[in-house]
Amino acid sequence: MHLTYLRLQQFRNYPHLDLQLHPRLNIFVGNNAQGKTNIVEAVYFLSEGHSFRTSTAADLLQWGEDRAQIGTELMRDDLMDEIAVEVLASRRNFFRNGKKVRNIPELTTVLFAPEALRLTKEGPSERRQFLDHLLGQLYPSYRVALRRYTQALLNHNRLLRNEEMTYGDMARQLDGWKTQLIDLGAELTVLRSQGVADINRHLPEAYGAISKQEAPLRLQYLPRYGAEEALLGKDVVVGCLAKAFHDRRDDEMRRRTTLVGPHRDDLAAHIGNKEVRHFASQGEHRSVVLALKRCEIRLLEEVLGHPPILLLDDVASELDPSRNHAYFSQLLAHTGQVFISAVSAEDVDLPETQEARWFSVSSGQIDFLKK
Amino acid sequence: MPTNPIDRLTHAFSKLPGIGEKSAARLAFHVFKGDPKIAEELAQALLAIKCTTALCAHCFGITADDVCTICSDDRRNRQTICVVEEPKDMAAIEKTRAFQGIYHVLHGVLSPLDGVGPSDLRIAELVNRLEASPAVEIILATNPTVEGEATSHYIADILRPRGMRITRLASGIPMGAFLEYTDQQTLALAINRRREL
C-alpha cells in the first residue's frame, strides 16, 4: 500500500501543492516552521480524520480560507483509489473515487512524533491512549466498545456528582449504567490483555534490533481488577468487576467518581526487573518507545496483510548517533511507504544505495533535493 | 421591508430536521408552483397537528382524542405492554403488525449528561397504570444505545418486584441483510447470542 502523490489545497502554509511521492522513502528536510510537519500531518489526517497537533480544524486552514483539501491516490497491489478529504471549520468530508464515504479504513498509518516519547514517562492516560489507538485499529469491535464505555462512564460520573439526590434514588439509577460499565469494561479488559500479549510476542525482536541490552523488555498490563481473570475470558472478568463495584460502592459514593473499570488501567514496561518509568535512562526510554512502535507496525501488518504507512516526524534529532543508525537500518526492513521529516539530511542515516526521494522544504516551497 | 413569501416559507421549512437550505427552497418553490390544494392541505395538516392532537391518557402516544385508537381497540391484548422511547418508535412497531399488545411511551431516555432523570420520563405513569390494571409482560423496546439500555435496566429493576415477565428487544442481523455489510458490533453480538438449531 502506498500513496503515489499528495495534493494540498489551502492546507496550512500550502496554497497549492502537488507532490509525486516515492513508493518507499520520502524524506523532507528543512528548518523548523517551514512546513515539513504539515506534510506528515496531511497524510495522518487522511487516515485518522483528525490532526495529531491540534483539535481545532480551523488551524489546518490557510489563513482567511474556509476550506482545505487533501488529495491522494492510494495504490493497493494493482488497485488504485482516488482519495480526498475536505476540511471545514466544523467538519470534514471524505471522498473515495469522488463518492462521499465515512472514512478510509484501508489507509492505515503509524505515527511517530517526538511527543510519543512521553509514553513511558508520564501518567497512565498516555499509555491507555497508545493501547486504545492500537487496539482500535486491530479489532474494530474495540472501538465500538470503547465509545459505548466512555458514554456510560460519563453518565455514571455525572450521576455520582449529583448532590441533591437521595442515596436510594442514586443507587437505583446508577445500576443501569453500572451493568453496562461491567459488561463493556470486561470486554475492553480482555481485548487489552490480548493486545498486550500480542505486543509481547513481537517485543524481543523489536527491542533486540535497537538495543544491545542483554535484559529483555516486557510490557505488563495492569488492570486494577481482573489482571489474572483477563486470561480466562470475558465472563470471569464480568464477575470480578461486579465484585469490585460491589466492594467499593460506599467509597465510590463518597468520592463521587467511578473507581472501578478499565479507565483506570495502566501499563508498565520492564527491562529485566527494572521498571522503565522510574529507572530507565533517557536513551532507554527512547529505545522502549521505538520498540513499542515497531510492534505496533508488526501487529498491523499481521492484521492488514500489508505494512502500514509510517510517519516519522522529526524523530531522528531525538536519538544519539549509534541509536540513530540502528533505528534507520531497522526502518529499512519496513517494506512499506515512509514519510520522514528532519532538520538536516545528516540526521537521516541511510545507506547510499537506499532508494528514496529527498525534498527540501523552505517556507512552503518544496523542491527535489539531490543527496 | 417584510420578507418575501418564498424566503419566509424556505426559512420555515429549513427549521425541520433533515432539511437543509437547498431542500427547503425546492419545497417552497414546489408549493408555490403547484396546485393550491396542496398548499391548503399542508397548511391545515400543519395547524391540526398542534391544535387537535394530544397525548393519550393511557399510553402517552399521540392521539386526536383522550384515548388513542390503540388503547381503545378491544381486540388489543392488554396483558402485554411495549415500552418505547418516542411516539415514532410506536409507529415503527405498529407498521410491522407483529405486535398485538398495547404501548407505553416514555418520551425520552435517562441521560444524566443531558440532565434527564426518571421524573422527566413517563415512568411513574407506567407504574400507576400497572397498579390500576396489571399486565403479564412488559417488553422494553428502548433503543440499543447506552442510554436506552440504562433506561430499560432502571425500569426492569422497578417492575421486578411485581413478578411480571420482563423482556428486552433482541438485537442481531437485519433480515435479508448480508453479513459483510453488517456493522461489527451487531455481528459480534449476533455471534455471542447465537441460538441452537
Average pLDDT over residues A226-237: 84
Superfamily of domain A2-108+308-369: P-loop containing nucleotide triphosphate hydrolases (3.40.50.300)
Average pLDDT over residues A20-45: 93
A184 to chain B: closest CA residue: B146
With 90 as the cut, is the pLDDT of residue A209 above it? no
* Topology at the third CATH level for domain B5-52: Helicase, Ruva Protein; domain 3 (1.10.8)
With 70 as the cut, is the pLDDT of residue A265 above it? yes
CB contacts under 8 A, A 158-177 vs B, are 158-159, 162, 172-173, 175-177
Q: Which of A141, A162, A176 shows the shortest C-beta gap to B149?
A: A176
Hey, what's the cell of A303?
492484521
- The pTM assigned to this predicted structure is 0.80
Nearest Cα to A186, choosing from A113, A243, A133?
A243
A interface test, pick of B146, B155, B193 with most A CB neighbours within 10 Å: B146
Phi, psi of A272 (to 5 degrees): 60, -125
Interchain CB contact of A142 with B (< 8 Å): no
With 80 as the cut, is the pLDDT of residue B54 above it? yes
Q: Which of the four pLDDT bands, split at 50, 70 and 90, describes residue A371? A: low
Using DSSP, state whether B5 is helix, strand or coil: helix
> Residue A279 belongs to what H/E stretch?
helix A276-279
**Every domain of chain B and the residues it spans:** 5-52, 75-168
CATH of domain B75-168: 3.40.1360.10
- How many C-beta atoms lie closer than 10 Å to residue B185's C-beta? 17
Closest Cα in chain A, distance from residue B113 (Å): 5
B interface test, pick of A101, A151, A155 with most B CB neighbours within 10 Å: A155
Question: A123-166 pLDDT, tens per residue?
Answer: 888 889 889 989 988 887 888 899 999 999 999 999 999 988 88
With 70 as the cut, is the pLDDT of residue A282 above it? yes
Domain with CATH 1.20.1050.90 in chain A: 119-279
Q: Which residues of B fall within a CB distance of 8 Å from A152?
A: 146, 150
B155 to chain A: closest CA residue: A176
- Cα A221 from chain centroid? 18
Instruction: With CB atoms and an 8 Å threshold, state whether B153 touches A176.
Output: yes
Question: B115-172 pLDDT, tens per residue?
Answer: 999 999 999 999 999 999 999 999 999 999 999 999 999 999 999 999 999 999 988 8
d(CA A179, CA A83): 42
Average pLDDT over residues A73-95: 92
With 80 as the cut, is the pLDDT of residue B110 above it? yes
Q: Which of the four pLDDT bands, split at 50, 70 and 90, describes residue B1? A: low
Domain with CATH 3.40.50.300 in chain A: 2-108+308-369
Q: Which of B118, B153, B184 shows the shortest C-beta gap to A144?
A: B184
Nearest Cα to B89, choosing from B62, B112, B67?
B62
Average pLDDT over residues B183-189: 77
The answer to whether A267 and A124 are in contact (CB under 8 A) is: yes
Nearest Cα to A338, choosing from A304, A312, A368?
A312
With 90 as the cut, is the pLDDT of residue A317 above it? no
Give the ipTM of the model, two decimals please: 0.72
Hey, what's the cell of A96?
473515495
Hey, what's the cell of A27?
524524506
d(CA A42, CA A55): 14
Return the percentage of chain A with pLDDT > 70, whole number.
Answer: 99
With 90 as the cut, is the pLDDT of residue B65 above it? no
Superfamily of domain A119-279: RecF/RecN/SMC, N-terminal domain (1.20.1050.90)
The answer to whether B103 and B84 are in contact (CB under 8 A) is: yes
Q: Which residues of A fall within a CB distance of 8 Å from B188?
A: 141
Hey, what's the cell of A246?
460491589
